[in-house]
Amino acid sequence: MICLYMDSVSRNKMGYEPILPYLKQVRAIKTREEALKLMAAFDAKGFNTAPYGISLSTNPFNSSEYLISAGAGGTSLPQEYYDNPNESQQAVVAVFKNLNKDYLKLVGNSDDVAERMMQAEWAIEHRIGIKKLNQVDQRDPQKTNHLMTWEQLLQDFKGIDWIGYRDALGYPQDIDKVNVSQLEPLHEVEKVLAETSVEDLKAYMELHVVKAYSNYLSDAFTDCQFNAIAAIAGVQEQEPRWKRAVSVLSDNLGETIGKLYVKEYFPESSKQRVYRLVKDLQQAFEERLKENSWMSDSTKAKALEKLHAMHINVGYPDKWQDMEKFIDIRENDNLMENFIRIKQEMRQARIRERWHKPVDKTRMPCSPQEVNAFYHPLYNSINFPAAILQPPFFDPDADYVCNYGTVGTIIGHEMSHGFDDEGCLYDKDGNLVNWWTADDKAKFDERAKVLADWFSKQEAVPGLYVNGEKTLGENIGDNGGLQIAYRAFENRLKQEPLATADCFTPAQQFYLSYARIWACNATPEYIALGVNSDVHAPNIFRVNAALPMIDSWYDAFGIQPTDKMFIPKDKRALVW
């Protein structure tokens, strides 16, 4: 597969030939019925031509079982970009529209025709996008989960051929319950399918056929995409082809690539060292929970149960899924057709493996080669793939203080996600159920609001401020992660004392190590994009806005009221 991607001569010679048979089918559509039927058939191949979809997922109210999720698609940006966008969001929209037009021109449409088709597609996208929840509301699982029977879905959303879609994608015939993510945009999809002209539906479909596999076509397509990224994020240089090839394979072949990565870069000794760090932080979190002065004993007991019920995934899965047995690579096929076939086969394999089977919550829901770490609320698991367990996040040769300040704070961050404003709504078994007393939840919300208000005062670029509510979960994660990791470090320091090094005390080394993992070069455009689209605050605020809330940071550096970053103790957030 990597050879097929790297063969730019053949790919450039083919141009958009790999998608031409599909474009011809779209262009030959005469009726609305033909369009709707082809949408489903093409979705089965990964073209995302239907502005809705279903998938196999976990029941948030009974996380031990799988069910089918349904929802509206069709949008490429968060809701705010469609509904009263700010100046930088408007600039992003303009770039996206220009990119879409360029894509349409690359597949043979004249400038005028491409403009008309782009505007038609955007009109559909805008209709759906404006009806979706904003980024703050999307973080509330009470607003994004609506359980109903299959029959109710068919009744309430009659404007969509769910049976035809189900059959086209090979989902089971015996679906009994469905979880609909957002109701209003799905109703808007019904209207779009019924009211939009056939020509405009065809324009929507054609653009989505092009976009779905543009990365696998000629350089003209990837160059267009890079030019858009450069305009949106200020990136100056396109990644070399080999890196793009690795990313494409990694994104599509998951654990199959992960096995090779782990064998080369993540020894068992590193896994065991990180696992000890996790257990140290779990113990530190337990200590802080027991010392908690604002939570009742009953809620505290349930919090401790949830903490100790967390499943820990470090580096790579305890049990590989062995999905490579479903990967059929044919050298005589082009890159796109290979990926279409692989995606279809892997979808069917997952359905066979999971339908009517209990959810395996010990499964690691990511690939080892991802630079990421996350909490999974439905599994109540914390996950640290091997690729993030490398310097600067984890260094097996460094003093333990450095690792507590780096990956230790990451571990504590993910643990804290189980108790942030979203994670706290799930119990120890991963079910969306309240386990708080009303008084305790009110006290939690009051403390969390201190963080939300503080981060909302942070100006990322001139005139654009962080949204403290949108980033609250991540900021609680950083706040808790720092507190927990520092306690674990103190516990270790009592057992294995460390001396001052390079004029820095062990406590100072901890915080310098933390700051170092967030050091980066970022363009103003990239920072603005993050503020507008990401639930994380910009990196600089994960240090300069997070640390002034931590008491031990003041002690480590002797911060005084006259110092710029000083916050009075009674104004500091103390959640976990």
What string of pLDDT tens digits covers the 576 residues of the chain? 778 888 889 999 999 999 999 999 999 999 999 999 999 999 999 999 999 999 999 999 999 999 999 999 999 999 999 999 999 999 999 999 999 999 999 999 999 999 999 999 999 999 999 999 999 999 999 999 999 999 999 999 999 999 999 999 999 999 999 999 999 999 999 999 999 999 999 999 999 999 999 999 999 999 999 999 999 999 999 999 899 988 888 887 888 889 999 999 999 999 999 999 999 999 999 999 999 999 999 999 999 999 999 999 999 998 887 777 777 778 888 889 988 998 899 899 999 999 999 999 999 999 999 999 999 999 999 999 999 999 999 999 999 999 999 999 999 999 999 999 999 999 999 999 999 999 999 999 999 999 999 999 999 999 999 999 999 999 999 999 999 999 999 999 999 999 999 999 999 999 999 999 999 999 999 999 999 999 999 999 999 999 999 999 999 999 999 999 999 999 999 999
pLDDT at 328: 77
Question: For the domain 266-319+362-571, what is the CATH code?
Answer: 3.40.390.10
Q: Give the span between the Cα atoms of 255 and 249, in whole angstroms.
A: 11
- Give the residue extent of every domain in the chain: 13-87+98-211, 266-319+362-571
Domains 13-87+98-211 and 266-319+362-571 share a fold: no
pLDDT at 335: 86
pLDDT at 327: 75
Q: Are 155 and 106 in contact (CB under 8 A)?
A: no
Q: Give the span between the Cα atoms of 444 and 575, in whole angstroms.
A: 7
Edge-to-edge strands of the sheet including 374-376? 311-315, 381-385, 374-376
Provide CB contacts within 8 A for 478, sequence distance 6+. 409, 413, 542, 546
pLDDT at 3: 81
- Count Cα atoms within 13 angstroms, Cβ side, for 545: 27
Q: Give the span between the Cα atoms of 160 and 168, in whole angstroms.
A: 14
pLDDT at 504: 97
pLDDT at 165: 98
Q: Are 100 and 118 in contact (CB under 8 A)?
A: yes
Q: Are 334 and 14 in contact (CB under 8 A)?
A: yes
The structure tokens 């189980």 sit at 418
Secondary structure E strands in 404-497? 459-461, 464-465
Provide CB contacts within 8 A for 203, sequence distance 6+. 116, 117, 118, 120, 121
pLDDT at 279: 97
- Token pair, residue 476, equals 């609680």
pLDDT, tens digit, 9 for 90 and up, residues 422-477: 999 999 999 999 999 999 999 999 999 999 999 999 999 999 999 999 999 999 99
Q: What is the DSSP string of 269-313?
A: HHHHHHHHHHHHHHHHHHHHHHH-SSS-HHHHHHHHHHHHH-EEE
pLDDT at 184: 98
pLDDT, tens digit, 9 for 90 and up, residues 310-343: 999 999 998 887 777 777 778 888 889 988 998 8
pLDDT, tens digit, 9 for 90 and up, residues 525-553: 999 999 999 999 999 999 999 999 999 99
Q: Domain 13-87+98-211 belongs to what topology?
A: Neutral endopeptidase; domain 2 (1.10.1380)
